[in-house]
Structure 1
Amino acid sequence: MTRTTPALATLLAATTLLSAPAALAEITLGAVIPLSGSNATPGEDQRRGIEIAVKEINAAGGVLGEPLKVIVEDSAGKPQTAIDAARKLVTVDEVPLVIGSYSSGITLPMGEYLVQEGIPHLNPASTSGLVRNIGDSSFSMVGLDNVSTEFAAKEVIANGWKNVAVLAVNNAFGQGVAQEFQKHLEAMGGGVKTSVLFTGGQPSYRRELQQLEATDPDAYVFTAYGTDAALIMQESFELGLQEDAPWYSILITMMNKDTAPEFKQGLSGMDVGYLGAGGEGYAATYEADYGETFLSAYGGYAHDAVLFAAKAIEKAGSTDKQALLTAIRALGDEGFTGATGEIKLDANGQRMSQPYLKFKVEGNDLVQMD
């Protein structure tokens, strides 16, 4: 009799299959993204991007003449859960490549596990500079924080906010954003009055907000995930901080959908570009399939990770891991154009050119600014 352990049963229950109808043979990839927890909204956006990519690839004949399937696992926004999910994909499903995850604090340990196992890893959303050090078989489809924070610092200075207070989540991502932003802002003649790192998942952030308020900044600059950001914005409104000074969000689409309109009026910010040249077809398909616009900026990067993986497998002529790694590096050198624009990789496997957009909140919506 076959026995299923509780841990494996939990993993299997959290699994979503995105595939064509059953066939005699399939090319199977894995993905680990947050389908529950504070980042479930951008995680669902990523899942949709993956689903659209699979449909596009299979409609065009599949990969190496076979249908493509992507097994999607839930990280639940927890490092160990993500590692366990990746381990299942590698040992049980025997996938040749894994896409994931969201949040650098999740992606770093998961990516390191995959590198140890010799499995190619494509990062579709995590932007900490530490991602660069995951290992030789890890590659990023999105630009890292050294570029995004420079863009944000330029915007802050352009708005006339020379001395700001910074709030960021206390993990690899938030620490990197706070450090890189301060470095760029100071180089441009500005300054950070205080930089407060918070622990996610708290019932209240009033203590951290009062620390920021005490410095009397020109503006509040912050980055936070989903439901944590929603609570931060609610409490900053209730404490009157939104009347004291403007609020600016780095990677604003991470939090906009989860925050009630009354708590974010006047908010502005930046994020990675949703689409590159030629991405209109992806946007049209997304709206037709799901009846709404993007939930975040990150679905397109997950979409492009699947397309990039499929192209690399075609280039390799098989799913052999070493052949696939060689093909990924070659494709990164040549360049690949997806919904988010051209993806070229540097010597460390990181995306070289990253588009960014400026936004302001109007009602419940983000409006792109010139």
Structure 2
Amino acid sequence: MRTRFFQALAAAAFGVALAAPAQAESLKIGALMPMTGDLQAYGEADVTGVQFAVKQINAAGGVNGEEVEIVIADTQTKPQAGVDAAQKLINVDGVHAIVGALSSGVTIPVAKTVTSREGVPQISNASTSPTITKLQDNDFLFRSVPSDAYQGVELAKLVQEKGFSNVSILYVNNDYGQGLADAFAEAFEGEVSASIAFEQGQASYRGELQQAAGGGAEALVLIGYPESGSVILRQSLEGGYLDKFIFTDGMKAPEIIERVGAQFLNGAFGTVPQAKDTEGLRVFREAYTAEYGDLPPKPYYDTAYDAAMVIALAAQKAGSSDPEAIRDNLRDVANAPGETILPGEWQKAVKLLADGQDINYEGASGSVDFDKNGDVPGTIGHWEIQDGKIVDVRVLN
């Protein structure tokens, strides 16, 4: 596992330490987020979700009597940059747990080469690739969002419901894009005339679009992120390739409307992991809007909030900020049985844990019941662009 400067220092001064009263190390959470790059449209909102959880916790007394600290690191939506940022969070900043990353293409290498080896729990609030379910991560990788094994099926049903029988897929060339494209294609009862991977950050996607437009496709299923996705949409329209668009969660951002134009995107639709209208969601919505105003028209700020909350609850139950102790208590605080804890009910949770009672956190994004693989159940929502705005239509499953 990892070594820390302060651990070595404590060992060297062991005799002095014995004379000092014991004090729990304050919990430090890393927010591993895309503040730049292809997913930067989501970074700020997701950081705010973590910050809101920590603000509520600290206002109610903190974890084990100490204030929680957040350290933010930028993945740049790139695997190597994400790995480097995670290593710094753990070995320089000394975080005890990490929320993030967003992109599955970043989360997976971070888990394989950093958090699983260093023994630090990592909860991704947005990585939906089915690959994560069976990843060899020493049980240090969790996620607060459901797998795309569900989203692909629900998207296929929705596309069929909308009357499309022949579509082409363009997907970002990483685990997220490949996994969701495969799940959709397997479930779709119509024809997928082409399924083409693309690389992030290209100046031109005209070659990929020319392939996608062949075979009689009626619409383009675009599985990507706002930066590269906006370029693809503009070039598809300018080149006369395809003008009907179907999206997934990675494209649910108002920035694409600003860059491409509402007149070209009105009627486009997609899917996204979305909570049912539960009591937890209602409590969170009321508190969030009181603090920040309107809810962001983007996903994953709620799952970021939930990830931070369960990390803090696990540390509270463990009576320690030790990373392995946090990992070992995540399922105990997030899964049934136990007294239900809703967003913001920190003092209630602390009292129940102090009394030796079991708790079951039901979050802003719904149930956070971690299974043996660190996955959670979830529901998928249908969203559309109407009159130049993103509108949540309904929960599908």
1:320-335 correspondence runs (5 A): 320-334=322-336, 335=360
Are 1:338 and 2:336 an aligned pair?
A: no
1:356 — aligned with what? 380
Structure 1, residues 15-54: CA drift from partner, whole Å, max 9, x if none? Answer: xxxxxxxxx9732111210011121111111111111111
Cα offset for 1:224? 1.1
Whether the 8 Å CA contact 1:38–1:225 is kept in 2: the answer is yes
Aligned to 2:70, the other structure's residue is in SS state strand
Decide which of 300, 303, 317 is 2:302's aligned counterpart.
300
In structure 1, how many angstroms separate the alpha carbons of the residues matched to 2:60 and 2:392? 33
Unaligned runs of 5+ in 2: 1-23, 337-359
Are 1:93 and 2:93 an aligned pair?
A: yes
Report the AA paired with residue 314 of structure 2. Answer: A
In structure 2, how many angstroms separate the alpha carbons of the residues matched to 1:48 and 1:214? 43
Unaligned runs of 5+ in 1: 1-23
Cα offset for 1:105? 0.6
Whether the 8 Å CA contact 1:169–1:175 is kept in 2: the answer is yes
Cα offset for 1:292? 4.2
2:20 — aligned with what? none
Change (3 A) 1:232 1:298: same
In structure 1, how many angstroms separate the alpha carbons of the residues matched to 2:160 and 2:82? 38
1:149 — aligned with what? 152
1:166-315 correspondence runs (5 A): 166-185=169-188, 189-243=189-243, 246-251=244-249, 253-260=251-258, 261-273=262-274, 276-277=277-278, 278-315=280-317
Q: RMSD in angstroms over aligned alpha carbons?
A: 2.0
In structure 1, how many angstroms separate the alpha carbons of the residues matched to 2:35 and 2:276? 23
Cα offset for 1:197? 0.7
Aligned to 2:123, the other structure's residue is in SS state strand
Whether the 8 Å CA contact 2:128–2:146 is kept in 1: the answer is yes
How many residues end up aligned between the 2 structures? Answer: 341
Whether the 8 Å CA contact 1:229–1:255 is kept in 2: the answer is no
In structure 1, how many angstroms separate the alpha carbons of the residues matched to 2:166 and 2:331? 42
Are 1:365 and 2:367 an aligned pair?
A: no
Report the AA paired with residue 381 of structure 2. Answer: L
Report the AA paired with residue 249 of structure 2. Answer: L
**Greater C-alpha radius of gyration:** 2
Whether the 8 Å CA contact 2:219–2:242 is kept in 1: the answer is no
Change (3 A) 1:127 1:309: same
Are 1:46 and 2:51 an aligned pair?
A: no
Report the AA paired with residue 281 of structure 2. Answer: G
In structure 1, how many angstroms separate the alpha carbons of the residues matched to 2:99 and 2:250? 23
Cα offset for 1:257? 2.6
In structure 1, how many angstroms separate the alpha carbons of the residues matched to 2:330 and 2:277? 21
Change (3 A) 1:292 1:134: farther
Decide which of 153, 157, 161 is 1:158's aligned counterpart.
161
Report the AA paired with residue 311 of structure 1. Answer: L
Whether the 8 Å CA contact 1:108–1:134 is kept in 2: the answer is no
In structure 1, how many angstroms separate the alpha carbons of the residues matched to 2:248 and 2:206? 20
In structure 2, how many angstroms separate the alpha carbons of the residues matched to 1:95 and 1:52? 18
Cα offset for 1:253? 4.7
Cα offset for 1:368? 2.0
Superposition TM-score, scaled by structure 1 size: 0.87
Are 1:317 and 2:319 an aligned pair?
A: yes
Deviates more, 1:60-69 or 1:102-111: 60-69
Report the AA paired with residue 143 of structure 2. Answer: S
Whether the 8 Å CA contact 2:25–2:321 is kept in 1: the answer is no
Change (3 A) 1:209 1:303: same
Aligned to 2:127, the other structure's residue is in SS state coil
Are 1:121 and 2:146 an aligned pair?
A: no
In structure 2, how many angstroms separate the alpha carbons of the residues matched to 1:171 and 1:215? 25
Cα offset for 1:275? 6.5
Whether the 8 Å CA contact 1:274–1:300 is kept in 2: the answer is no
Deviates more, 1:341-350 or 1:260-269: 260-269
Structure 1, residues 192-220: CA drift from partner, whole Å, max 9, x if none? Answer: 11101111101121221111111211322
In structure 2, how many angstroms separate the alpha carbons of the residues matched to 1:127 and 1:258? 21
Cα offset for 1:285? 4.2
Whether the 8 Å CA contact 1:273–1:356 is kept in 2: the answer is yes
Q: How many percent of aligned residue pairs carry the same amino acid?
A: 33
Deviates more, 1:271-280 or 1:222-231: 271-280
In structure 2, how many angstroms separate the alpha carbons of the residues matched to 1:289 and 1:209? 43
Aligned to 1:366, the other structure's residue is in SS state strand
Report the AA paired with residue 310 of structure 2. Answer: F
Whether the 8 Å CA contact 2:142–2:375 is kept in 1: the answer is yes
Report the AA paired with residue 184 of structure 1. Answer: A
Cα offset for 1:333? 3.6
Change (3 A) 1:303 1:276: farther
Deviates more, 1:269-278 or 1:125-134: 269-278
